[in-house]
Amino acid sequence: AKLSNNYTTPEDACNTFKALYAALDEFEQDLHQHIHLENNILHPKAKKLEKDVISTNN
């Protein structure tokens, strides 16, 4: 986002350029959401499940 000035297109940008920036902005937001889900939900649950399985087998 820094390189693209937060995906702000120049006033004279063509529709293709505007569509590209809109798609990149959406992609970045989606990426941040997935990173959050993996780091804060999926990985902690996987660690707990692994710990539970190991303790059950011992």
Q: Domain extents for the chain?
A: 5-57
pLDDT of residue 45: 97
Ramachandran region of residue 8, left (φ > 0), alpha (ψ -120 to 50) or beta? beta
Q: And the tokens for 40?
A: 């804060």
pLDDT of residue 10: 94
pLDDT of residue 57: 85
pLDDT of residue 2: 82
Per-residue pLDDT 10s for the chain (58 aa) are: 788 999 999 999 999 999 999 999 999 999 999 999 999 999 999 999 999 999 998 7
Asked if 17 contacts 7 with a C-beta cutoff of 8 angstroms, the reply is no
pTM: 0.75
Asked if 1 contacts 7 with a C-beta cutoff of 8 angstroms, the reply is yes
HSE-CB for 1 with a 13 A CA cutoff: 9
Asked if 7 contacts 24 with a C-beta cutoff of 8 angstroms, the reply is yes
